[in-house]
Amino acid sequence: MTKSSRPPRRGLRTALALAGAAALTITTATTGLATPDTTEANAGDMAVAQLAPGEISKSKNIKHLANLPIPDVLAGGYGTDLAFQDDLAFIGSYNGFWVVDVSKPSKPKIVSTVLCPGGQADITVDGDLLFLSVDAPRTDDSCSSQASNAADPTAWEGMRIFDISDVRNPRYVAAVQTDCGSHTHTLVPGTGKNKKNVYLYVSSYGPRDTFPNCQPPHDSISIVEVPVKQPHKAKVVAKPDLFAADGGGYTNTSGCHDITAYPEKKIAAGACMGDGIILDIKDPVKPKVVERVRDTENFAFWHSATFSQDADKVVFTDELGGGGAATCLDTIPDTKGANAIYDLSKKNKLSFTSYFKIPRDQGTTENCVAHNGSLVPVKGKDIMVQAWYQGGLSVWDFTKSNQPEEFAYFERGPISEERLILGGAWSTYYYNGHIYSSDITEGLDVLKIDDKRTKPAEKVKMDTLNVQTQPKYKTKGR
């Protein structure tokens, strides 16, 4: 099969209309909780009848604790990625971001919201700083900017930096423009003499001759250096070409979608359109590609990557249809729009093992494909919780890389039975004993899994979690 064509940079998610741009606005509030009607199935029986709009189905080992709707000030802005720090969840939105107190997971409370439109707002946190990606061209870098056009040489895209020392009143402190904007970014801690800095690996894609700030070929990432004590001095310090032809025989790509770093192992895994790569990041300013794989038969769009606990496996995801298509149908093979599990040798060589896709067919009006997830930290096991848009969320085990298996799930019925409306779980992560899921239209879901396979993870506590900066978990035994 010929690999499907790559979506343009201004694809479905970034092309969808944003709510009207406005000046930086911060609010504090609390919001009531809602729990829709629910049907349950045994964890081992994943065959689910077609659900009605608003109806919930889940395995018996999952409990839906709470739902917190998207705040009114961010209305019209889809919910996107998540980061965590000190029992706070930071949630990206096409219209900015919001902060939620999850110290009592069953009773999450909104702490603040920031109205600052600019695309999907990939988000990370580090101490007193919050980083926000902007991948939609704006008239300038301010929160009051208007939507612009990538063909305009004065259009701005890149990274925004906020001071969150007072989470009730985040302050916008710096902006850094990057080539082709910032679709996603990955936080990489500094080392040695640069230990006081953090680095942002900015991934972007879709160059065109008509885009002055995004010219082809675009085989590079932008590396932004941020002095944590002087974030206003943040700047681009490198633009490494990850696919240089010399030495490796690599051919041009059009950019990377996402990179996951494993700082303790000094490696990173990148999903770069048509390629899965492993990077040596011993020097964070000079990452080097040491391995590269392709799957032209089944992968349409390499989207993201997750290491196993011991970095002896990598899960790459394929976002077939760009997240806006119904690809979890019985007419589409389980090898497409799925995860691909690769074994990773000590010499950083990748070897394909198997595919995993949720075993629950969805309807033709439900956008569904593999998306963002994280490890569930259990010693000796490789378990992942993952978002599948309107396919809901899945908890699955890939300890045996050739025998992946789902053993828990949660999903809603379609937004509409008549037409496909973009929705569902964008990012689903495990943090301090609970599952948190950012739903595109429904806000923040909080869930609890009660299963012997994940029980040890409840004892693992993290202060900060940026999933694409993968930690070495201090896992517990049974």
Compute the average pLDDT of residues 86-93. Answer: 98
Beta pairing, strands 38-41 & 56-59? parallel
What pLDDT sits at residue 45? 54
What pLDDT sits at residue 20? 33
Contacts of 198 (CB under 8 A, 6+ apart): 126, 129, 187, 188, 189, 190, 226, 228
DSSP string, 154-196: T-EEEEEEEE-SSTTS-EEEEEEE-TT--SEEEEEE--GGGTT
Contacts of 262 (CB under 8 A, 6+ apart): 268, 269, 307, 311, 470, 472
**93 and 81 Cβ atoms separated by less than 8 Å:** no
What pLDDT sits at residue 11? 33
Q: Whole-angstrom Cα distance, residue 111 to residue 88?
A: 9
Compute the average pLDDT of residues 131-141. Answer: 98
142 backbone dihedrals φ, ψ, rounded to 5°: -80, 165
Compute the average pLDDT of residues 117-141. Answer: 97
The domain limits of the chain are 1-31+74-262, 36-68+295-478
Closest among 385, 438, 460 to 99, alpha carbons compared: 438
| Tally of CA atoms within 13 A in the half-sphere of 427 that contains its CB | 27
Tens digits of per-residue pLDDT, 419-438? 999 999 999 999 999 999 99
Rounded to a whole number of angstroms, the CA Rg of the chain reads: 20
Tens digits of per-residue pLDDT, 317-352? 999 999 999 999 999 999 999 999 999 999 999 999
**444 and 78 Cβ atoms separated by less than 8 Å:** no
435 backbone dihedrals φ, ψ, rounded to 5°: -105, 130
What SS3 class is residue 131? strand
Asked if residue 243 has pLDDT above 90, the reply is: no
Instruction: Report the chain's mean pLDDT, rounded to a whole number.
Output: 90
Asked if residue 103 has pLDDT above 80, the reply is: yes
Asked if residue 7 has pLDDT above 50, the reply is: no
What SS3 class is residue 133? strand
